[in-house]
Amino acid sequence: MRAVVLERFGGPEVLATREVPDPEPREGWVTVDVKACALNWHDCLVRQGRYPGVPLPHVIGSDGAGVRSDTGERVVILPSLFWGDDERAPGPEWEILGDRTPGTYAERVSVPAANVLPLPAGWSFTDAAALPLAGLTAFRALFVRGELRAGETVLVLGAGGGVASMAIALAHAAGARVLVTTSSEDKLELAQALGAEDGALYTSDAWPERIRALSGGRGADLVIDSAGAWEQALAATAAGGRLVTFGATQTATTEVDVRRFYFAQQTILGTTMGSPRDFAGLLGLVARLPAWRPLVDRILPLEEVAEAHALMESRGHSGKVVLHIAS
């Protein structure tokens, strides 16, 4: 089969498409003929060697959709492997597909049978491939960890990325008022098309004040943060509000005004991609939104994976980048 093989860590140019053996049969696992796979920032970090234990050579990729080879069923892949029994947090065996287990940048992938679910009704393989990691991360951040309720104001930081675009749409569908931060007026307009009411440009240091003004001086009830910008994010969070954080694209360390934090009775919650139960919740929500699809920026052939990764790193996209795998 054809696959994108990571033979050494580095920039996008280290990714190459070549012939590799098909996945070996494994009890309790199934093989999926992959029709489309989607990129995530996580894939770039794996490619760069930022995660321990990644074997070389290796096939990366977390998101995918295709045809289950033993039954012919059209399926979407849940990339959250070995979550465990505790819904509060993943267990010690948890990993994301493509970290150590060969991933979806290939014509075929093998995953546990529990990690393939029926394609949502009416969805294409491209639509479905764009959903899992980003959609599940957004769902858990909003509803499981963030406990978002209809009528609340939610602030999504960094509108334009895959998780952010899904968080905007899902929060809007749940009846929340959505504000965003983003880097340009064009991306703000796109966020508004997805369901955001308004927002602020994070290129201005005064963006927390802008968010507070848009929320009547109160701040957001819930802030979804993939950047690690806790100091500014908390400044835009209402008294009694929640900050849910799952990324560090801006910084891996931050400072918090402790007194201001506890006097405001705020909460900081960590999250990740979610559990199989969370994924079932996401698919249930999607089923109630028949017209909604993930925002896809562009679709490229598998052979252009290096160009796709370069696009991810340039932040030149809005929504998901998907690779099409011709059979």
Q: 141 and 174: one domain?
A: yes
Q: 101 and 168: one domain?
A: no
Q: Please give the pLDDT value at position 118.
A: 97
Q: 69 and 141: one domain?
A: no
Q: 108 and 177: one domain?
A: no
The structure tokens listed for 154 are 């939610």
Whether 302 is in a domain gets the answer yes
pLDDT in tens, 93-121: 999 999 999 999 999 999 999 999 999 99
Whether 71 is in a domain gets the answer yes
Report the CATH number that the domain containing residue 236 is assigned in CATH: 3.90.180.10
Is-contact 162 292, C-beta < 8 A? no
User: pTM of the predicted model, to two decimals?
Assistant: 0.94
At 201, give phi and psi (nearest 5°). -85, 125
Whether 286 is in a domain gets the answer no
Q: Identify the residue whose tokens are 């569908």.
A: 173
pLDDT in tens, 199-252: 999 999 999 999 999 999 999 999 999 888 899 999 999 999 999 999 877 777
Average predicted confidence (pLDDT) for the chain: 95
Domain enclosing residue 214, as ranges: 136-270
Q: 159 and 264: one domain?
A: yes
Q: 66 and 169: one domain?
A: no
Kindly tell me if the per-residue pLDDT of 57 is higher than 90: yes
pLDDT in tens, 9-32: 999 999 999 999 999 999 999 999
Kindly tell me if the per-residue pLDDT of 327 is higher than 80: no
Whether 275 is in a domain gets the answer no
Is-contact 119 65, C-beta < 8 A? yes
How sure is the predictor about 315, in pLDDT bands with cuts at 50, 70 and 90? confident
The structure tokens listed for 293 are 């699809």
Closest CA to 297 of 325, 324, 315, 317: 317
Q: How many domains does the chain have?
A: 2
Which of the listed residues 255, 270, 285 is the one where a domain comes to its end? 270
